[in-house]
Amino acid sequence: MTTDQNFAEIGRRTIQIERDAINALLPRIGEAFSKACRLMLECRGRIVVVGMGKSGHIARKISATLASTGTPAFFVHPGEASHGDMGMITAGDVVLAISNSGETAEVLTLLPLFKRMGAAVISMSGKPTSTLARAAEVNLDTGVDKEACPLDLAPTSSTTTQLVMGDALAIALLEARGFTAEDFAFSHPGGALGRRLLLKVQDIMHEGSRIPAVPKGVRLGEALLEMTRKGLGMTSIIDENRVVVGIFTDGDLRRALDQGVDPRNTTIDEVMTVKCTTIMPDILAAEALKIMDDRKINALICVDEQRHAVGAINMHDLLKAGVV
């Protein structure tokens, strides 16, 4: 009967075997790896990644990693390629063909077609003398001494080395292209990083009639009504030219009440914060968040170059947009 201790021992053994397989890759990263990178970097089309079975699953992940890090790539199932999907591949593409044995029939069937159309082939195989490795312009050796599977049958160590080699290619190409965090954000617009690097204040700010604003000289009570109507926890104060001259927030209200101010007999000019912090609408929402954090404030007025109020934003808006 397998005990909890046995389970843990098997888990550690599996990790050790796969760790050793990864370590064995290091001396193989040399001329062949550099040539593969050069072929992919100079590719006029896209990187087409193919593989069957477990290698096919790894191929899908490698193609996704390449695509998200600046190297246009997609996965083609070898079986489907033989039934019409070859039309997705062009002479300007580079094919990355993955097969541990290097003898996968569905992949080998495609080799003459790749050659005929002029698409360069990079193989990733555990057998450098295999049919696939010999037919390719360059072979990346991902062979392992043994699988982590005790029967030495289930692809485990071999798929791990394939995955690691694919990551090595993607990161090498990323650095060669000068791929930036902003480039990454464009590939991941729905992710947290994409929102932080792409979303601007103007995309989420309150505009037009939704901007809380009262003219100079009004009673504090009227300003409080405006704050309640707009629900942003503050209001801007504007002059006769609609230029922002101050702000009044929930925090200002608490401080005013602590000082015994009567909202009915006090003008907004007496309690507003002058020379208030404002922002331009075309800055990143993440930058607005930093300003709020640095100044310990929860809302900002957005102004144009003439300091006319064009928008308003508060911490809740940033939370809702996923910037925080």
CATH fold, domain 201-320, is: CBS-domain (3.10.580)
CATH fold, domain 4-179, is: Rossmann fold (3.40.50)
Q: How far apart are CA 182 and CA 62, in angstroms?
A: 21
Q: Side-chain half-sphere of 124: how many Cα atoms within 13 Å?
A: 32
Query: Model pTM?
Result: 0.68
Domain ranges across the chain:
4-179, 201-320
Q: Side-chain half-sphere of 150: how many Cα atoms within 13 Å?
A: 3
Kindly report, residue by residue over 178-226, the tens digit of the pLDDT: 877 666 766 656 666 666 667 889 999 999 999 999 999 999 999 999 9
Q: How far apart are CA 251 and CA 247, in angstroms?
A: 11
Describe the strand order of the beta sheet including 120-125 as a list of residue ranges. Answer: 73-76, 47-51, 94-99, 120-125, 138-141
- Do 4-179 and 201-320 fold alike per CATH? no
Please give the residue that has the higher pLDDT: either 219 or 321.
219
Yes or no: say if 54 and 193 are a contact pair by the CB < 8 Å rule. Answer: no
Kindly report, residue by residue over 87-137, the tens digit of the pLDDT: 899 999 999 999 999 999 999 999 999 999 999 999 999 999 999 999 999
